[in-house]
Structure 1
Amino acid sequence: MKNCNSCNKTPQQQNEVLCPVPSTQQIPVADHSIPLCETPNQHPTFKVPVVLAERSLQIVVEANIPLDPKATEIKRVTKNAFLKQVKLIPVRFDQIDDTDFFEVKKAKLFVSGFIRKNIEYSSHDCQGVLHDRIVEVPFSGFAELDSGDFLTRPIIGISDSEKAYFLNDTNGEVPRLDKYFFQNSVKYNEQPYGELLGANFYEIDFSPVTVEPEGEFSPLREKIVMDIFLKVLQVQQFKVHATRIIPNMDNGLG
């Protein structure tokens, strides 16, 4: 005979929720667009981050990772890339008109950071727990950026320092060594900076010494090829042609 636990329950009991929670039914509200007041032919000036370059850099690293306890089998390895430094060093310039500002047409891009690895592995215990090892593998390097690599050229202002000398007041044949005139012009620049987009990892992990099946090994040697993708940006100022838009909200006075 078939066992039926709900045969003796009333229809109301059968429809009851096992673990009810309180809820509130939402009521629809009126929804209308806000009229816009447009003022065309405006020429606002914006100071915004500008993408200087989008680059893919290939980093190659090798490391030995000690494992304690020793491993018999690597189960899973996950990775993330972290950038600690992105620095753009200009080396060639084009002057902007007659100003002390220059567009960078060639630069060195220095990057550094680390790869954070999470290694899960088993030991020689037949029914032992999985062990977890977290390490940070550092990397660093630089890339050459030429004029064609820039989407928008970086801008840098050059500071200047001048020094004037004087003759001796009583003897016009010798200079005064205790009297000088100094003139300094200092320009503070927006520092280019980096933004991490993503990374691809290609690696091989192995024991540096050949071991038998179920044999233990430590350290774990890894060889990693990482393609890291990043943006290089700088805050710059632009004047654009635009239409100013102001929301025209009804105040109920009309």
Structure 2
Amino acid sequence: MYNAIGNTNISNIRIFDSSHGQSKCNSKPSVPECNTNSKHQNFCVDVKSNVLDSCTNTPVTPTGITTGVTAKIPVVLAELTIQFNVNALIKLPELALEIKNIKKKVKITQCTLLQPTNILFIKGFVRKNIDYSTGKCANMEGVCGELHHCTIDVPFECSTPVTFSTPPAELAVNSSAEFEFFKVSDLPHKHFAEKDKLLSGDFSEFNQIIVENFNELPFCELISARIFEFDEFIGRHRPYESEFPFEEKLFHKIEEKMVIELTVKILQNRQVEIPPTTGGTSRPPHCFSTAEEK
């Protein structure tokens, strides 16, 4: 038999009384660790899942316009692979024993085609998550520590000429023009004959025509990225005045060399003439055959 235990301050543990078959939280809800709003509750995670039944579906054949149409769609201007050569020096916030893993993600922040030239400006960074181990305690037989991580952004940028498979649309520039109206005015008779008149434009008004054209800006899509990387630890040394395995050393600087290859597609929204389809008949959706057709 187990005896009931009272006045025991143990967080995140339910204490059972075998005489009643109830938990301490059921018998004494006023206990701090039993209160769901109490700061003593050490709750980490809760997972709930449901099993969903499979849904049925009925395939539907898509229908489209077969008589020809003018559509505005993205047109591929060029597709190219750009190579960046990056050298960076990374300083970790503490001494590290070794690098366990480095995860890398390429992020593009700018991809701009400078019209009317063929120069593409591209800018971005490589997000690196570095997992490394530390040396907290050591002797001649081994070293122990913790696994830490450091997330950094390594920037890059460059410009490169583009060879177009389809040239971009010609730029429509803005224009501004002035115009005036003819006016006949009298002249002072002191200096001119009575029949003389002043023939000129009307200086009492200002007339102008302004034309604004809004061009479609080319844009980029990132197709793929490859990174070739070489990391070298700088300033590896044995800690002074402490026992340490002879083959182990600590460092906090990493010099990295990266070759980044990005495949980028340049597009521009354009109006395209799509010709009619041939070699078959098409029927609009929701049409039924007539008795004559049968």
Q: TM-score, normalised by structure 1?
A: 0.69
* Structure-2 separation of matches of 1:27 and 1:174: 82
The one-letter code of the counterpart of 2:121 is F
Specify whether residues 245 and 66 from structure 1 end up closer, same or farther in structure 2 by C-alpha distance, changes over 3 A only.
farther
Deviations 1:148-175 (CA, angstroms, capped at 9, x unpaired): x212211122222223479997898999
- Counterpart residue number, 2:242: none
Return the letter of the residue paired with 2:146: V
Bigger drift between 162-171 and 113-122 goes to: 162-171
The answer to whether the Cα contact below 8 Å between 1:39 and 1:245 also exists between their aligned partners in 2 is: no
**How many pairs are equivalent?**
211
Gaps of 5+ in 1: 1-20, 92-105
Higher strand share goes to which structure? 1
| Inter-partner Cα distance in structure 2 for 1:112 and 1:67 | 25
| Higher RCO by CA contacts (8 Å cutoff, separation 6 or greater) | 1
Q: How does 1:107-126 map to 2 (within 5 A)?
A: 107-125=118-136, 126=143
Q: Is the 8 A contact 1:67 1:133 kept in 2?
A: yes
- Decide whether the 8 Å contact of 2:134 with 2:144 is kept in 1: no
CA deviation after TM superposition for structure 1 residue 32, in Å:
7.8
Q: 2:96 aligns with which of 71, 74, 77?
A: 71
Deviates more, 1:50-59 or 1:119-128: 119-128
Letter in 1 for 2:100: K
Q: Distance in 2 between matches of 1:120 and 1:87?
A: 34
CA RMSD of aligned residues (A): 3.7
CA distance in 1, matches of 2:202, 2:258: 64
Alpha-carbon deviations, 1:192-212, whole Å to 9, x = none?
A: 111111111112111233546
Of the three residues 165, 174, 194, the one matched with 1:151 is 165
Give yes or no for the alignment of 1:199 onto 2:233. no
* Aligned counterparts of 2:259 and 2:157: Cα–Cα separation in 1: 13
In 1: Cα distance, 2:63 partner to 2:231 partner = 63
Report the more deviating stretch, 123-132 or 217-226. Answer: 123-132
Matched with 2:214 is 188
Alignment of 1:46-125 (within 5 A): 46-91=71-116, 106-125=117-136
CA contact (8 A) 1:124 1:215 kept: no
Question: What is the distance in 2 between the residues matched to 1:154 and 1:241?
Answer: 22
- For 1:107, give the aligned amino acid: N
1:22 Cα deviation from its structure 2 partner:
7.8
Classify the secondary structure of the residue corresponding to 1:157: coil
Q: What is residue 223 of structure 1 aligned with on the other side?
A: 257
Q: TM-score, normalised by structure 2?
A: 0.60
Q: Is the 8 A contact 2:135 2:146 kept in 1?
A: no
Work out the CA distance in 2 between the residues paired with 1:228 and 1:166: 59
CA 1:37–1:186 in structure 2 vs 1: closer, same or farther (change >3 Å)?
Answer: closer
Structure 1's 165 and 217: CA in aligned 2 closer, same or farther, altered over 3 A?
farther
The equivalent position to 2:284 in structure 1, one of 242, 246, 254, is: 246
Alignment match, 1:160: 175
Cα offsets for 1:53-76 (capped at 9, x unmatched): 111111122222221221121122
Which secondary structure state, in structure 2, belongs to the residue aligned with residue 247 of structure 1? coil
Q: Which amino acid aligns with 2:227?
A: F
SS of 1:187's partner is: coil
Change (3 A) 1:176 1:133: farther
Give the unaligned 5+ runs of structure 2: 1-49, 137-142, 188-197, 239-246
Provide, for residues 60-94 of structure 1, a one-character-per-residue CA deviation record: whole Å limited to 9, x for no partner.
Answer: 22222221221121122121111111111123xxx
1:138 paired to 2:155: yes
Q: Is the 8 A contact 2:110 2:124 kept in 1?
A: yes
The structure that has the greater radius of gyration is 2
